[in-house]
Structure 1
Amino acid sequence: MLECFIVTFALVGILTAVIYTFLAWNLSYWQKRGIKQAKSYALIGSFPNIFSQKQNIAYDIDEIYRANKSDDNFIGVLMMRTPKLLILNPVCVQKILVSDFKHFHDNEMSKSVDEKSDFILANNPFVLTGEKWKERRVEIVPGLTANRIKVVYSITTDVCHRLTHYIREQSKMSSSTGLGADELCLRYTSEVVSECVLGIRANSLSDESTPIYANTKKIFSHTYIFRLYQLITGFFPAVQNFYKMRFFPKDVEEFFINLMQKTIDLRRKQNLDSGDIINYLLQLQEKRNLSTPELTSHAMTFLTDGFLTTATAISHCLLLLARHQNIQNMLRQEITKNLDDKGNLSFETLSELPYLDACLHEALRIFSPILFNKKLCTSPCELVNKDGSILKVKTNDIIMIPTHSIHHDQSIYEEPEKFKPERFMPENGGLKSYRERGAYLAFGDGPRVCLGVRFALTQSKAAIAELIRNFIIKPNPKTRADNTLNRKSFFGSLEGGIWLDFEEINSN
């Protein structure tokens, strides 16, 4: 009996030691490569809130960033067991994204997806690598020119009017909790993108929405899969070699492929020769001999890029304007002063409203939709630290760019937690001055900057202008007063959601 106990105890001890050794194997990984490594623990690595979710992981990153940025340009971290290099200097960020782009060509997500597991996402420019990315970029960019966005601008303004009507109707029925801005803006972006890209009305701004809105929303309700997959691959990186994750649920993928085929058939039956986005996609299909699934992946690039991140930008800009009535009034004055004889904002005028532009970019700074970005080293290069030491970056090293931390760095942005649109006004250097320093990353930078940025900004500014000119917007008491990030979200969104009160402005 005693012998059995001893044997069992020994086996348990050996197993425990093996597991601990496995989990702790990389705890000194970066030190062995000659650079400082952030405090890390077996199992959880450098970011304990990946597991606990007591706060957003961006705050874990921020603690490391603030503690080390004065002494180092970069520092080693572990995400569970996976080593990553956290960049601490915007100049280094600029180097990685722009001047040394050829060495950091791809995004890390490319390792987690392939066409067999998720055809639509695998063909998104954000995921594509190498020559495939270049080819897709060449195909997508002409569909998002200023002229094409101008062609569909009348659709955008029509959706804006429907959004105003929807808010009026919902306000009549709303309780003391106000209206959920997150949901309002998701409905708006779903409607705009569906009509502008697919030429189909989603009826998102009604009580009886079509399956388009429901299926689009379902895409982003599955982000927990990414969290689980990242946890697993954080422990066992080799999992990515034989199992790739699916972001688009199978039924959603089939829905949009069928919808795209119906859209193709309808447009060709109508025989319209317009300059809109769907017409461009049909021309591209003929030119490249694309299948319906391939064309769907192109369309979904527009749809996914323009749906959640744009809705997040609009809702948080409205939140910050609601909190600062003086800024809201100044913006309202700029908008009303530039209305034409029919009371509208032309496409050209909307693009040339400096205070509106500044308000939106300041909101994107405070609540960056993407809190951090992860790049993949595609060919060896060198990074120089502040003490002159050199790190030889190897192929497949993962680079973390802390967007949220840079955007909230008080050495770059004075009083970073405050909403101060004047930072981005032309007389203060504007957006360009920050981008040139690698300090503004809401849409990324360099060759892989977000392809849909012009479209996203247009639909965002159109919605904000429409609502500010029609309503005095105030934060509902249900909305928290600080900028605490949602602890469970990968996106830069406010914890607890955004609830607003809309008081209609008397036009008489």
Structure 2
Amino acid sequence: MAEVVQLSLSLFPSAYASSCAMCPIFTALFVIAAFLALIYVFLTWNFNYWKKRGIPSAKTWPFVGSFPSIFTQKRNVVYDIDEIYEQYKNSDNVVGVFQTRLPQLLITSPEYARKIFVSDFRSFHDNEMAKFVSKNKEVDKILANNPFILTGESWKERRAEVTPGLSANRVKAAYPVSQSVCKKFVDYIKRQLVMASADGLNAKDMCLCYTTEVVSDCVLGISAQSFSDNPTPLVGMIKRVFEQSFGFIFYMVVANLWPKITKFYTVGLFAKDVEEFFYDIMRKCIQMRRDNPGQQRDDFLNYMLQLQDKKGLDTVELSSHTMTFLTDGFETTSQVLSHCLLLLGRNPEEQTKLREEIGTGELSFEQLSELPFIDACIHETLRLFSPLMAARKLVTEPYEFVNKNGVKVKVYPGDVVIIPANAFHYDAQYFEDPQSFKPQRFLEVNGGVKKYRDQGVYFGFGDGPRICPGMRFALTQIKAALVEIIRNFDVKVNPKTRTDNRFDDTYFMAALKGGVWLDLVERK
């Protein structure tokens, strides 16, 4: 036998050598294939998690889970959620979905949505974002004490501290500041019209200048010089506050694949230079107010200083508290204001109704608060372009859902349930002709905001105990600006602006894709 082998090798030496050379390649390919197979199994092994529990599961892909748009960014991820809602809303109260490989529940029942926010709040009182943001105030100075992020008793304590600073009396005290800023805003718009191109005015930038000025004045007692040719760096930094870094997005993906990483490693939501800028400006404003006790005024910063004396807060805690007012007031309010102007521009008859309600005289805070149509216009805007497109709530106590077919499923602390707010807002079952701007839906004669909140289908400011604490302040800002703009200008939509309500592909709030561009015509 040995002789035969030896003879074969002598007759075919090149073939033997080639065979030996290929062995490492085949081994490497096998190792790579095995490794990829292991990854695939790791990513998909629990994709039958909900089916085993008798709950239908939405279509799911390896790595991207049920929401591929998070990764493709070809459209806003809310459309992934909306499509799942539409597919299952008539057959199920809940449907299983996956965030990468983590099982979560999507709520399709308004009754359950209402329970999660309000009546059964105790079982869902934390927000999922809390899992990804560090509670260490040295790691994340801006969000460490933000009520949206905090959980459990910490949330209750901070909420109780912040809420009195946003009382009706304090908002009323700040109203003259808002009125003064609104007058400057109108002058600023008139100057911009002189220089406007054929594309019109960028409503988002214009409104952000306004909210920056009014919030920085009302909260910190300083001017951002937003309406001047040389605004302070505050304006530019505000635009960067909600620009999520790639590092944070990647961290969230890794945390969903391997949740244990959150126990020993975190990544800040905001860029460090942005965080340091705001922390520094807070520190300077606080010190300036401390050094000039004779210049005190009844604003939010003054309230926070009183809270610091009472609670013994350090500078980082105080700054984090104050940033709650700022972050809630800058971006969100400017988005709502710009989209409200867009919708009024598209609907001149509604704009005329609003102008008639506003009248020509100066409005007191009480008078402004009693204008039903302006309230209805804002809430209809919040329905169509909601800052809260989908709420992601952490389960904090075991809870049992019952599907329409009678199957029960239990969720446990740490699980996540998703409330598809945008899907409810655009559901024709609850809002007739949902794509259209119809403020009369929210008039008291038709049931008002309460009607839709009680049904569990409207979440303009959220709902329940964790409803937006700055809601009253935001509404006052928006209404004060609308009054002055509608009085002084006819609002028209520039042809550059798209005619549908398509959302921006990547922005986390509802923002019109391509931006809002307006033609404002000064009224004589």
Q: Matched residue of 1:443: which SS?
A: coil
- The correspondence for 2:270, drawn from 248, 251, 260, is 248
Counterpart-to-counterpart distance in 2, 1:226 and 1:118: 12
Task: Determine which of 29, 34, 37 is the counterpart of 2:57.
Answer: 37
Pairwise CA distance, 1:140:
0.4
Q: Deviations over 1:374-399 (max 9, x none)?
A: 10001111112112221111111101
Report which stretch shifted further, 92-101 or 42-51: 42-51
d(CA) in 2 for partners of 1:244, 1:467: 44
Mapping for residues 394-409 of structure 1, pairs under 5 Å: 394-409=412-427
Q: Distance in 1 between matches of 2:258 and 2:522?
A: 55
Contact 1:485 1:495 in 2 (8 A): yes
SS for the counterpart of 1:171 is: helix
CA-to-partner distance for each residue in 1:387-438, whole Å, 9 max, x for gaps? 2221111111101111110100110101110000010011100111001111
Q: CA deviation at 1:258?
A: 2.5
Are 2:324 and 1:327 aligned? no
Counterpart among 356, 359, 362 of residue 380 in structure 2: 362
Q: 1:181 to 1:170 in 2, by over 3 A?
A: same
- Listed as ranges, the matches of 1:214-225 within 5 Å are 214-222=236-244, 224-225=246-247
Q: Give, in angstroms, the shift of residue 237 of structure 1.
A: 2.8
Count of paired positions = 501
Show the counterpart of 2:215: 193
Matched residue, 1:303 = 326
Q: CA deviation digits over 1:127-148, x for unaligned, max 9?
A: 0011111110110011000000
Are 1:94 and 2:114 counterparts? yes
1:11-65 C-alpha deviation (Å, 9 max, x unpaired):
1221121111112122212112331111111122111212221211111111100
Counterpart CA distance in 2 for 1:20 and 1:464 is 54
Letter in 2 for 1:502: L
Deviation at 1:373, TM superposition (A): 1.1
Rounded Cα–Cα distance in structure 2 between residues aligned with 1:377 and 1:498 = 38
Partner of 1:353: 371
Partner Cα distance (1:283, 1:458) in 2:
24
Match of 2:516 among 473, 485, 498: 498
Match of 2:47 among 24, 27, 36: 27
Go from structure 1 to structure 2 and tell me whether the alpha carbon gap of 1:319 and 1:223 turns closer, same or farther (over 3 Å shift).
farther
Q: Which amino acid aligns with 2:32?
A: V
Partner SS, residue 10 of structure 1: helix
Unpaired stretches in structure 1, ≥5 consecutive residues: none
1:304-335 per-position Cα deviation (integer Å, ceiling 9, x unaligned):
01111111110000000000111111111111
Superposition deviation, residue 80 in structure 1:
1.5
Paired residue secondary structure (2:455) = coil
Residue 225 of structure 1 and its aligned partner are, at CA, apart by 4.7
TM-score, normalisation: structure 1: 0.96
Give the deviation of 1:79 after TM superposition.
1.7
1:235 aligns with 2:257: yes
Q: Is 1:142 matched with 2:160?
A: no
Residue 152 of structure 1 aligns to a residue whose secondary structure is: helix
Give the match for residue 411 of structure 2.
Answer: 393
Contact 1:27–1:41 (8 Å) recurs in 2: no
- Residue 226 of structure 1, CA deviation: 4.2
CA distance in 1, matches of 2:230, 2:53: 59
Question: Is the aligned partner of 1:437 residue 2:455?
Answer: yes
Q: Does 1:56 align with 2:79?
A: no
Q: CA deviation at 1:223?
A: 5.4
State the SS of the aligned residue for 1:29.
coil
Which has the higher mean CA deviation after the structures are superposed, 211-220 or 157-166? 211-220
Cα distance in 1, alignment partners of residues 244 and 230 from structure 2: 23
8 Å CA contact 2:115, 2:121 repeated in 1: yes
| Match for residue 186 of structure 2 among 153, 164, 184 | 164
Q: Deviation of residue 256 (structure 1)? A: 2.4
CA distance in 1, matches of 2:522, 2:250: 44
Aligned residue identity for 1:166? Y
Change (3 A) 1:404 1:223: farther
The reply on whether 1:459 has 2:477 as its aligned counterpart is: yes
Structure ID, larger Rg: 2
Asked whether the equivalents of residues 243 and 270 of structure 2 are also in contact (C-alpha less than 8 Å), the reply is no
Corresponding residue for 1:312? 335
SS at match of 1:386: coil
Q: 2-side partners of 1:209 and 1:221: how far apart?
A: 20
In the alignment, the residues of structure 2 paired with residue 319 and residue 128 of structure 1 have an alpha-carbon distance, to the nearest angstrom, of 35
% identity of equivalent residues: 51
- 1:471 pairs with one of 483, 486, 489: 489
Q: TM-score, normalised by structure 2?
A: 0.93
Matched, 1:151 2:169: no
3-state SS in 1 of match to 2:142: helix
CA distance in 1, matches of 2:460, 2:249: 22
In the TM superposition, what is the alpha-carbon distance from 1:117 to its structure 2 partner? 2.5
CA distance in 2, matches of 1:141, 1:357: 22
CA contact (8 A) 1:375 1:399 kept: yes
Partners of 1:475 and 1:149 in 2: CA distance? 32
- What does 1:421-436 align with in structure 2 at a 5 Å threshold? 421-436=439-454
2:200 and 2:494 in contact (8 A); partners too: yes
Where in structure 1 do 4 or more consecutive aligned residues deviate above 4 Å? 223-226
Q: Give the counterpart letter for 1:231 in structure 2.
A: V
Relative to structure 2, which stretch is displaced further, 176-185 or 275-284?
A: 275-284
- CA 1:352–1:66: 2 relative to 1, 3 Å: same
2:151, 2:25 → 1: CA distance?
A: 55
* 1:274 paired residue number: 297
Deviations 1:149-185 (A, max 9, x none): 0101001011111111111001100110100001011
Residue identity matched to 1:295: L
- Assess if the C-alpha contact under 8 Å between 2:383 and 2:460 holds in 1: yes
1:85 aligns with 2:105: yes
Counterpart position of 2:226: 204
Residue by residue over 1:273-300, the C-alpha shift from the partner in whole angstroms, topping out at 9 and shown as x without a partner, is 5322121111111101111111111110
The one-letter code of the counterpart of 2:336 is A
CA contact (8 A) 1:121 1:248 kept: no
8 Å Cα contact 2:127/2:392 also seen in 1: yes
